[in-house]
Structure 1
Amino acid sequence: MRKPDMHVEKGEEFFENGFSIYVNKVYEHFDLPEHVHDFYEISYVWEGIGFHYIGDQTIRVSKGDLFFIPIGISHIFRPSSPHANKPLRIGNCIFDASLFHFLTSILPDHYHMYRFNDLVSHGGQWLQIREHSGEFEQVMSSLFVEFQQKRTGYETMMCGLLLQLLIVMERAIERKEAPTSPNQNRMDAVLRSIRSRLGDKITLASLAKEVGIGTRQLQRMITAHSGESFSELLAHERINHSCHLLADPFNRELSITDIAAAVGIHDPKRFYRVFKESTGVTPAAYRRQSYPSTDWTRA
């Protein structure tokens, strides 16, 4: 809840030209004050580990955590360490109350959507969800790119993506309430492990040891879950993350070779080949398509 003399962030400081959605991606620091805001906020942990001080609770967070923060809730993210080599990067999508209520009233009640709307209607309740297979990152990335590029129709596109994010959250809540099998829990752990250290050497044997099963059993589990072999899944995750890095303007100083190394592919020729096989374009072309107005001198 709001504390005395708490800093209040107002939507008018962010919204422009009557459009009430704003998206950013920031590194958290210790000098930012705890605050409340007069808008709704969805915060996604994009990178690193740290803590979220929200209301009267302190929650340890890591990549894949998402928070729905209603109006009037005090909160702040802090990295786990002041050292620059241990950053905490948060993506934020903020929007005003009128847009939220419009989006959450589009579908009829009998569609059984937006159960988290009940939390908002009672006031003062926030929500924490952890993604299952990168579903939050995918939509947040699309929102961020649309907001940065501002191409024709971006406002409508962003409203659609925000609605998509709300639906994905609804599904995650439903999944959270349903009982999970041991194999599902293991698969979630495998995906978290892979995504947290894509730049490292990752083997099927090391992952199997982490989750406490044999390598053959893990391979069968991966295939049942994704329809891919372990090597195919790993390549998919690496290329998927490289796409996010290439499309992110914060990474414009990184060369394509740097990005390839960051996702664990240290041979540039191999990276170009695998990337084009997966996406149909070269990494340089993908980067230019994401930000066509930018002069990519290091591409």
Structure 2
Amino acid sequence: MQRSAQLFKSESLLQNNLHLLVNRYAENFFAPYHSHDFIEYCYVAEGRGFHHIDQAVIPVRKGMLFVIPVGVSHVFRPATSHPEQDLLIVYNCLFDDHMVDRLSALLQEESPIIEHLQSLGSSGSAYFSVSDWDGSIEKLMLNLHREMSVPGIGSVTMLQTLLSQLIVTVYRQLYADQDRSTIEASDFAQVILFMEQKLSEGITLAHLAQMSRWSSRHLQRMFLKHTSQSFGSYLQHLRIQKSCERLRTSDLKISMIAGSVGYRDIDTFNSVFKKIVGEPPMAYRKRHRT
């Protein structure tokens, strides 16, 4: 059944000559399901929850950005009924067709982006989302919010420039003419980097699937494709590889090294280490020290 949606109008929200609003909002269960007559870029900055959009319900986490065209209905909800325990913070950047006209002057040599913006400003366009892998989108959103909250000399120019950069950055990520396998390999590299950063913690395939937005089955295929190992085997070898580096370059106790790479039981660590390296950790350290 189609849900009824409240209409938010630019004349009541964008009450400035810029036709632009950037805010930071702690989502709750009271905001209405709504559509609007302006374009909205929503960036999830903290917490977790759900995005009810059209007829879909999408789990959200930090780093996800949604672009909501005119006429698309949506609302964010926190993950729990006690949002103060796990706040869902979203930065919203709203602008209407007047701002699109101004940006068109700045982007006059970028006709595909202008056409993209104009399509977002007309009813019938579909929403889309991108992930902020390198932090560039978050940085632009924070700068937009800061400039909007504490305007100074040149703020109008600064806001228009920052908004143009945000639009171009998101457009590039969505439409960049790159080979799909190259993008996939880059995304998988982020998974590997995440594993290396969280090596001391209990990393699971389900956790990585949630982080990467790939299914566990697809993620297993990616490990076989890019490492020729299963997830479990790769994680085990990665832990032993890092422990070898620390045995060679530090004076830490072996038990501390084992814990730093995710082994809570020293006997298990010694057993796995000897199986992969061919000798116990102490013998490995002595041989490389001499």
Same fold (TM > 0.5): yes
Where does 1:22-101 land on structure 2 (aligned, <5 Å)? Answer: 22-83=21-82, 84-101=84-101
Q: Measure, in 2, the Cα distance between the counterparts of 1:68 and 1:61.
A: 14
Q: Describe the shift of the 1:54–1:88 C-alpha distance in structure 2 as closer, same or farther (beyond 3 A).
A: same
Unaligned runs of 5+ in 1: 195-201, 220-299
In structure 1, how many angstroms separate the alpha carbons of the residues matched to 2:147 and 2:14? 15
| Aligned mates of 2:46, 2:3 — CA distance in 1 | 29
Within 1, Cα distance between the matches of 2:51 and 2:241? Answer: 33
Task: Give the distance between the partners of 1:177 and 1:123, measured in 2 at CA.
Answer: 27
The 1:28/1:57 distance shift into structure 2, 3 A limit, reads: same
Scaled by the length of structure 2, the TM-score of the pair is 0.62
Give the distance between the partners of 2:187 and 2:8, measured in 1 at CA. Answer: 38
Inter-partner Cα distance in structure 1 for 2:240 and 2:92: 38
CA contact (8 A) 1:23 1:144 kept: yes
The question of whether the paired residues in 1 share the 8 Å contact of 2:195 and 2:203 is answered with no
- Cα drift, residue 204 of structure 1: 4.4
Equivalent residues in 2 for 1:270-289, closer than 5 Å? none
SS of the counterpart of 1:129?
A: strand
Quickly say closer, same or farther: Cα 1:21–1:218, change in 2 above 3 A: farther
TM-score, normalised by the number of residues in structure 1: 0.60
Structure 2 unaligned spans of 5+: 209-230, 243-290
RMSD of aligned residue pairs (Cα, Å): 3.2
Q: Distance in 2 between matches of 1:114 and 1:45?
A: 25
Matched, 1:165 2:190: no
Task: State how far apart, in whole Å, the 1-side matches of 2:163 and 2:100 are.
Answer: 9
Rounded Cα–Cα distance in structure 1 between residues aligned with 2:48 and 2:147: 26
Select the structure of larger CA radius of gyration: 2
In structure 2, do the counterparts of structure 1 residues 215 and 143 end up closer, same or farther at CA, with 3 Å as the change threshold?
same
Is the 8 Å Cα contact of residues 69 and 123 (structure 2) preserved in structure 1?
no
Moved more, 18-27 or 110-119: 110-119
What are the Cα deviations for residues 130-188 of structure 1, in whole angstroms up to 9, with x where unaligned?
11211110100100110111111111110110000001001111359642456522332
Displacement, 1:19? 2.1
> Structure 2 CA distance, aligned partners of 1:105 and 1:147?
21
Tell me, yes or no, if the aligned pair for 2:18 and 2:99 is still in contact at 8 Å.
no
Superposition misfits of 4+ residues, deviation over 6 angstroms? 191-194, 207-211, 216-219
For the residues of structure 1 that align with 2:10 and 2:77, how far apart are their CA atoms?
Answer: 22
Q: Percent of aligned positions with the same letter in both sequences?
A: 29
Shift of residue 125 of structure 1? 1.5
Q: Is the 8 A contact 1:131 1:172 kept in 2?
A: no
Equivalent position amino acid for 2:150 in 1: Q
Tell me the distance in 1 between the aligned counterparts of 2:193 and 2:115. 27
How many residues get paired?
210
Letter of the 1:188 counterpart: Q
Aligned to 1:8: 7
